[in-house]
Amino acid sequence: MDVNKILSADILDIIFEGRNKDYGAYDLRKTYNKRITFALIGTVVVCLLLILGSVLANSSKKKAVEVIAQDVNLENMKQEEKKPEPPPPPPPPKQEPPKVEITKFTPPKIVKDEEVKEKDEIKEVEKLEDTKIGTVNQEGTKDEGIVAPPVETGTGKVEAPKQEEDYDKVFTVVQIPAEFPGGLPAWTKYLERNLNRDLPVNNGAPPGKYTVVVSFIVDKNGGISEVQAENDPGYGTKEEAVRVIKKGPSWKAAVQNGRNVIYRHKQSITFMVSEE
C-alpha cells in the first residue's frame, strides 16, 4: 500500500493488504458494528413488545380490591346460662299480741263518798290479782304471764347475698369494648398501610366479597394474644388477616364497671374484589 494512503486507510484494509478480501472474513469484520447495532435494536424491540403485551393483558383483567373492617357484635352470642335463684321464702304472717286486761290505777285521794265517780273507785286488791295496772281500763284476757310476741317492723323481704363479679374471666360482652388506638378511622388506615390488599387477586380470586372473622384476646393492658381466624374464604385472605392483627400495636382495654377486663374481641376484615 502506498505510504501516503496508510494514514487515511482503514485498519482492515491494512490487515488484509495483499490478501483475499472476497473470502468472507474481511466482509464480516467490515460489517461487524452494523450487525451489532441491528442485533441490539432488535433485542430491545422484542423486549418492549413482550412487556407491552403483558401490561395490556393485565390491564384488561385488572381488578380493584377494597378492604372493609368492622367489629363483630357479640351481644347476641349465647352466654353462659345462669340458673335462676330460688325465690325468697314468704314472710311469716304478723300476729297481733293478745290484749291483756288492764285496770286503771287511781291514785288515792280523800274526798266525800258522794263525790267519788264509779270509774275512779279504787279496785279491791283481790280483783287486781289477775290484771295489769295501767293508766286506762281495758278488757282482755286475764294476766297469766302471757308474753306478747315481738312485733316485726321490717319489710318482710329476704335479700339474697350479693355475688361479686369475677373480673379475671374472659368477657365477651362489656360496657365499653376494646378499641384500636384512635378508633375505627385509625384502624382502617392501619389496614390500608399494612394489609396486602392485592393478595386475593394475585392468588386468582374472582370478583366477589371475601370476609374473614378474626377472634383475639385483649388483656387488661391492651396486649393482643390468641389471634385466630374463625373462617377461611380462601385465596390467602385468612393468613393475611391474622398476620396483620398479630403485628399490630396494643389496643385500649375493655372496661366493665370501671375496671379494665380481659375481653375476647371479634373483628371482620372484608376484601372486596371487583372488575375495573
Give the integer Cα–Cα distance in Å for 47 and 99: 120
Query: Euclidean distance between the first and final Cα of the chain, in Å?
Result: 73
pLDDT of residue 130 exceeding 60, the answer is no
- Sign for the CA dihedral angle at 118, 120, 125, 131 comes to positive
Q: Both 182 and 52 in a single domain?
A: no
How far is the CA of 194 from the CAs of 89, 134, 208, 213, in angstroms?
62, 94, 22, 18
CATH code where residue 270 lies = 3.30.1150
Q: Which amino acid is at 35?
A: R
Q: Both 69 and 43 in a single domain?
A: no
Give residue-wise pLDDT tens across range 114-123: 666 666 555 5
Note the pLDDT of residue 145.
54
Give the integer Cα–Cα distance in Å for 63 and 201: 7
Q: Read off φ and ψ for residue 216, nearest 5 degrees.
A: -155, 160
- Structural domains in the chain (count): 3
Give residue-wise pLDDT tens across range 64-105: 556 666 665 544 444 444 566 777 777 777 776 666 665 555
Residue 84 lies inside a defined structural domain of this protein: no
Note the pLDDT of residue 76.
42
Q: Both 106 and 136 in a single domain?
A: yes
Q: Both 70 and 194 in a single domain?
A: yes
Q: Both 202 and 225 in a single domain?
A: yes
pTM score > 0.75 for this model? no
The residues pairing with 252 across neighbouring beta strands, listed in sequence order, are 179
Q: Both 8 and 133 in a single domain?
A: no
Give residue-wise pLDDT tens across range 245-264: 999 899 999 999 999 999 99
Q: Both 140 and 178 in a single domain?
A: no
**Mean of per-residue pLDDT scores for the chain:** 74
- Joined together, the cell numbers standing for residue 27 give 466482509
pLDDT of residue 48 exceeding 70, the answer is yes
Q: Alpha helix (H) ranges present in the chain?
A: 3-6, 11-15, 25-30, 32-60, 183-194, 199-202, 237-246
Residue 160 lies inside a defined structural domain of this protein: no
Across 90-104, 141-155, 226-240, the highest mean pLDDT is recorded for: 226-240
Q: Alpha helix (H) ranges present in 195-250?
A: 199-202, 237-246
Residue 180 lies inside a defined structural domain of this protein: yes
Q: Both 178 and 69 in a single domain?
A: yes
Half-sphere exposure of 178 (CA within 13 A, CB side): 29
Residue 91 lies inside a defined structural domain of this protein: no
For residue 89, give the DSSP letter. Answer: P
- Provide the domain limits for residue 33: 3-57
Residue 83 lies inside a defined structural domain of this protein: no
Q: Both 69 and 22 in a single domain?
A: no
Note the pLDDT of residue 205.
87
Q: Both 184 and 228 in a single domain?
A: yes
